Chains A and B, each alone.
Chain A
Amino acid sequence: MFDSLSSRLEGIVKRLRGKGRLTEDDVDEMLKEIRTALLEADVNVGVVRNVVARIREQAVGARLSEALDPGQQVIKIVNSELTAMLGGETLKIHYASRPPTVVLMAGLQGSGKTTNSAKLARWFKSQGRQPLLVGVDLQRPAAVEQLRTLGRQIDVPVFSQPGDPVETARRGLEEARRLGRDVLIVDTAGRLSIDAEMMEQVRQISSVLQPNYTFLVVDAMTGQDAVGVAEAFHATLAIDGVILTKLDGDARGGAALSVKEVIGRPIAFASTGEKLSEFEQFHPDRMAGRILGMGDMLTLIEQAEQAFDKDQAEQAAEKLMEGEFTLEDFLEQMQALKKMGPLSGLMGMMPGIPKEMKDAQIGDDQLKPIEAIIHSMTPLERRKPELINGSRRTRIANGSGTTVGDVNRLVKQFAEMQKMMKRFGGMAKQQRGKKGKKGGRVMPPMGGMPGLPGGFPGMPGGPGLPGQGLPGMPGGFGPFN
């Protein structure tokens, strides 16, 4: 819905071609776009001001390299600045010499404290620890019940008792010692940062527990208020790290940057889905791209991993590269693709998709006629589209409520794709040959994709981040290893 920074900068960049150096005016113009992009990502106004000032310092007078266009260079500056701001020190968990290591979870209502307490417990368990969950949210109806259910799912004991939250926390700590659990995770009630009474209560809980880590749970969808909330909690509790939740949505998550900037504590974990396993340590580099709407390749790949059946997809890909990919396979893959979320969102996440295509206002509904056409074919026709003659075409068109022209177009496009993919496959194979037994992960070079039929103006070598395009995906290909 919002334009990515690269498309915002495109117009300005065109005028700059051939200049050797960015003047102050050029930079000003770009900074305005950068500012808007950051604001639309919900980065706090004050933080935006600081970021923009820092970027200006780096950008004015920056010598333009031959290889990159000025837009890419500015984006690179912005991206590395954001990555640096989001990252810096990472949080390393040091376990208390005298167990248990106490973790206190705090945050606003609805940020996801209870769910993430369980996720964190599961994470500690995967690190070989024995956590105990304590529920001191005695306010929200059934909050403790929710924690108990989650505890059962991950096989972690849960302690709670009715009455006073501070007392419950104290008893929880004793319980952990008694049971010999070495990590104690305390889920507190959600509270508004301005509720003095509730803030006092959580301060008391904190002083009773003397936690080793206090995590602030922050919703990635939070707007400008994230800063105020973080400051208030930090002033009361001394936050050690942030857990960023609901990153599986399409929020740009500028709140992460704001919070990091004002309390200066690292974002330790990110929650990326509803399942209890969807919880991981935070990747600043991905977040930077996301805030800028620049395409979040790794997230995309992870989503793909979830949506596609692995064996089926591999088979399909083999076929694709051999040129044996049928319409049936295509339909299957298209349906899997739909599971990954709205297509416009997917396109947004893919670097190197031409602006023209991103602007095409793609809705999922537009897949429907394609699906309908394929559904109206016989299995044989799906495998051998070349069989489709005039009468079959008419039948298919009638059956799918489309026109003969539409059917033709689909068949033709499909044939083009097959050809292209075959060429693609050839390249991939060559590379695989070179890599030998080292494990067949192959990235075909995408930059020089042969002129596609129709709308693709030659696929410029990735209008995205330099180095974020396909060739040479930088390091962290984690989920694939």
Chain B
Amino acid sequence: MTFIYLVLIAAVLVFGVGVVLWNRRRGARPAQQRTAAAPVAPAAPVAPDVAAIAESVREAVLQVVAEAEVVHLDGEHHPEAVDLGGERPTFRSRMAKARSALTGTLLGIRARTGITSDTWDDLEEALLRADVGVRVTDELLNGLRTRVKAKEITEPGQLLDALQAEMVSRLDGADRSLHLVPGAADEPNVWLFVGVNGVGKTTTIGKVAALQAQSGVSVLMAAGDTFRAAAAEQLTTWAERSGAEIVRGKEGGDPSSVIFDGIERAAAKGIQLVLADTAGRLHTKTNLMDELRKVRRVAEKGRGRVTEVLLVIDATTGQNGLAQAREFGAATNVGTDGSGVTGVVLTKLDGSAKGGIVFAIETELGLPVKLVGLGETIHDLVAFDPTEFVDALVTLD
């Protein structure tokens, strides 16, 4: 079996040498234009590029969508569109436990008479504990340090307020509406749900279906998770609860064909919205991600059009969330650049987890959080509100 290992080394070596040389040559002759299929490895750090690309893609999408007379399902714009029944839970109440873990630290900061090195240590710890991540935390704090140095901020209370404003502004300006583009009766919208195992994709679909059905949209669910035992049963239960149609395939069958069938059925019956479930998959499994690529491609082949690709992320997820967002974005992308994911659903935010990874996902990849799960019931799945979210996280009771 050592042989496998040898081959591996050989392949990686050859490949590595090739890439190094390739890049070097490119660096030497940057002006030369090539039409070759070989994508150019960017010499600059990737993150800002990706963000920029994602931003431009988002703008493009926004524009297209705006032209197509989007129905905003955002409660504010069309209160009648989604019946949240006045039961909408507040971020503040549901995230009380998450906040309480940070309370001690924040109280400590406020209690000090000035801004000391302990203040900075405490702030850093609070942000890290919220899974905000080292990089974003550093960025946030460096900005504040400058302002403190310039005597713009002198009191701990001001500092906390400034931090809060800074956090909100990082999440500001994104389009968080779910896109349901009206079209011909036989041209359903398709919302594709993707994510790693166990984040709550199926449950989220169930809730979205119920919410959409309540607001008068006709819904069909396509049980594209043909891998996990009984996933289709789980979805069927949700379909019964919300009165949605469901299309199922064989266990172990091809998810693309189940979803395709779902879309065709919806088109035939004049159903407006197809919610397509997919099996949970780790973003590192190349074959499974290829399967997802196919699902994404095939979903566009029929009479429907994919208007949302929603990445479901568990609020307990740590720094790996960024890798998930990046890989799923790449796999569901039908173009050449940017991300195919149109939005993030952050689930399980009603636990003690704080979901800080969304800061990195939004700022580094430009993927807006659209929905959050604040509890078990259907009405606990609500539109994401950055101001409420940050407030629930860091404002003391």
Instruction: Place the interface of chain A in its size category.
Output: 35 or more
Confirm or deny: A92 has a beta carbon within 8 angstroms of a beta carbon on chain B.
no
Q: How would residues 123 to 142 of chain B score, 1 for a CB under 8 Å from any chain A CB and 0 otherwise?
A: 00100111101100000000
Q: What 0/1 readout, one digit per residue, does chain B (312-325) give for beta carbons within 8 Å of chain A?
A: 00101111111110
Which of chain A's residues have a CB closer than 8 A to the CB of B350?
192, 194
Residues on B with beta carbons closer than 8 Å to the beta carbon of A368 = 37-39
Question: CB-CB < 8 A to B326: which residues of A?
Answer: 1
Residues of chain A within 8 A (CB-CB) of B284 are 248-250, 341-342, 345
Interface size class of B (residues with CB under 8 A): 35 or more
Query: Among A108, A146, A232, A342, which residue has its beta carbon within 8 angstroms of that of B230?
Result: A146
- B1-49 residues with Cβ-Cβ distance < 8 A to A are 1-24, 34-39, 41-42, 46
Which of chain B's residues has its CB closest to A397's CB?
Answer: B36
Q: Would you call B198 and A111 a contact (CB within 8 A)?
A: yes
Contact A221 B20, CB 8 Å, known A140-B234, A141-B238, A338-B286: no
- In chain A, positions 361-404 with a C-beta closer than 8 Å to chain B are 361-370, 372, 400-403
Query: What is the distance, in angstroms, from B303's C-beta to the closest C-beta of chain A?
Result: 30
If over half of A's interface residues share one DSSP class (helix, strand or loop), that class is named, otherwise mixed; here it is: helix
Indicate if the CB atoms of A308 and B4 lie closer than 8 Å. Answer: yes
Name A316's closest neighbour in chain B (CB-CB).
Answer: B7
Question: Which of B238, B320, B321 has its CB near the most chain A CB atoms (within 10 A)?
Answer: B320
Please indicate the chain A residues that have their CB under 8 angstroms from the CB of B251 in the complex. Answer: 149
The reply to whether the CB of A357 lies closer than 8 angstroms to some CB of chain B is yes
The segment from B62-70, B263-271, B351-359 that touches chain A is B351-359
Decide: A110 and B198 in contact? CB cutoff 8 A. Answer: yes
Task: Indicate with 1 or 0, residue by residue over A79-117, a CB within 8 angstroms of chain B CB atoms.
Answer: 000000000000000000000000000001111100000
Instruction: Decide if B244 is an interface residue (CB 8 Å cutoff).
Output: no
Interface positions of B (Cβ within 8 A of A): 1-24, 34-39, 41-42, 46, 97, 101, 125, 128-131, 133-134, 196-200, 203, 206, 227-231, 233-234, 236-238, 251, 282-287, 314, 316-324, 326-327, 348, 350-354, 356-357
B259 CB to nearest chain A CB (Å): 20
Known A42-B318, A369-B38; contact A362-B19, beta-carbon cutoff 8 A: yes
List the A residue with the shortest CB-CB distance to B131.
Answer: A223
Q: How far apart sit A248 and B15, CA to CA, in the bound complex (Å)? A: 24
> What's the dominant secondary structure at chain B's contact region?
helix
The chain A residue sitting closest to B21, CB to CB, is A454
CA distance A371 to B371 in the complex (A): 41
Contact of B4 among A142, A304, A341 (CB under 8 A): A304
A246-B197 in contact (CB<8A): yes
Q: Do the beta carbons of A455 and B24 come within 8 Å of each other?
A: yes
Q: How far is the CA of A410 from the CA of B17 in the complex (A)?
A: 10
Query: Are B3 and A333 in contact, with the CB atoms below 8 A?
Result: no
Bound-state Cα–Cα, A232 to B219, Å = 39
Knowing A142-B231, A219-B316, A229-B316, the reply to whether A316 touches B3 (Cβ < 8 A) is: yes
What's the minimum C-beta distance from B392 to chain A, rounded to whole angstroms? 15
A413 touches B318 (CB 8 A): no
Q: Which residues of B contact A338 (CB under 8 A)?
A: 286
CA distance A311 to B233 in the complex (A): 40
B200, B230, B282: the one within 8 Å of A249 (CB): B282
Known contacts A317-B7, A341-B285: does B317 contact A222 (CB below 8 Å)? yes
Beyond A452-B17, A455-B17, is A363–B41 a contact (Cβ under 8 Å)? yes
Nearest Cβ on chain B to A248's Cβ, whole angstroms: 6
Residues of B within 8 A of A320 (CB): 6-7, 10
Do A441 and B21 have beta carbons less than 8 Å apart? no
Q: In the docked arrangement, what's the CA distance between A305 and B8, Å?
A: 11
A201 CB-CB contact with B under 8 Å? no
Is A301 in the interface zone, CB < 8 Å from B?
A: yes
B16 touches A360 (CB 8 A): yes
Contact yes or no, A223 B316, CB < 8 A: yes
> Taking the nearest CB of chain A, how far is it from the CB of B292, in angstroms?
14
Q: In the bound complex, do residue B36 and residue A145 qualify as a contact, i.e. CB atoms below 8 Å apart?
A: no
CA distance A394 to B325 in the complex (A): 41
